[in-house]
Amino acid sequence: MYESYFVVDVETCPIDLDGYFLLETDEEKIKKLNPIDSKIIAIGIRNRGESKIFSGDEKDILTKFWSEWKKLKYGSPSILLVGFNVTNFDIPFIVARSFINNIEIVPFSLKSVLDVKEKINAYRYGKSRGKLEEYGRLIGVGVLNIDGSMIPRLFKDNDWETLKKYLLKDLEITDKLFERAKSTGIIHISKY
């Protein structure tokens, strides 16, 4: 079970960066990270230990992402998309931004999406503590001294090298968490 899977992680950034940097509270900044006020600046995919990063123009990123998913799905119809907080953030963001950009998607069922965070938290209702980097540290995967709140600044500074390293590390951590969840049986927890 779950032999064929790929890991996905999305990096986003507010469309109005100058206005974003004028916001005073983290709460105000977090409210801007939605598919209406923000855009996708990169999507990473990891399959069989190999990672790909799609960056540049958002339409191009989305087109390449869906093309890659289609290839992976064609190669293995039961392939599973895996991510950390992927059902609450990444997938809704990708779908909404695809709609906004008029990009054709690859039809899928949420049954083919596995959110590692939901499994680790046994589908706990409401907010739960545990960021990707925190879980990475707990299982011994080295993490970078970067977190998601730094992405808009890295983007504004055009620091693609650091953004790429961050995205690659997130993909690796998610993959390792998925492997740990499989080996501990946590992956088999079901919501109902």
Where residue 1 falls among pLDDT bands split at 50, 70, 90? low
Q: Give the model confidence (pLDDT) of 55-108 as tens digits.
A: 999 999 999 999 999 999 888 888 999 999 999 999 999 999 999 999 999 999
| Among the listed residues 76, 62, 58, the one whose alpha carbon sits nearest the alpha carbon of residue 8 | 62
Does the pLDDT value for residue 3 go beyond 80? no
What's the predicted TM-score (pTM) here? 0.92
Average pLDDT in the chain: 92
% residues pLDDT > 90 (the chain):
71
Say what the pLDDT of residue 143 is.
Answer: 78
What are the structure tokens assigned to 29, written together?
């900044």
Instruction: For residue 14, report the phi and psi dihedrals to the nearest 5 degrees.
Output: -60, 145
Q: Give the chain's domains with CATH numbers.
A: 5-188 (3.30.420.10)
Q: Give the model confidence (pLDDT) of 103-150 as tens digits.
A: 999 999 999 999 999 999 888 876 767 889 889 989 988 878 888 888
Say what the pLDDT of residue 78 is.
Answer: 86
Where residue 179 falls among pLDDT bands split at 50, 70, 90? very high
- Spatial neighbors of 35 by CB under 8 A, at least 6 apart, are 92, 93, 96, 97, 100
Say what the pLDDT of residue 146 is.
Answer: 84
What are the structure tokens assigned to 56, written together?
């540049």
Where residue 38 falls among pLDDT bands split at 50, 70, 90? very high
Say what the pLDDT of residue 77 is.
Answer: 81
Torsion 110-111-113-117 (CA) sign: positive
Does the pLDDT value for residue 2 go beyond 90? no
Residue 141 CB neighbours (<10 A) = 18
| Among the listed residues 130, 134, 131, 152, the one whose alpha carbon sits nearest the alpha carbon of residue 143 | 134
Question: What gap in Å lies between CA 37 and CA 189, rounded to an integer?
Answer: 35
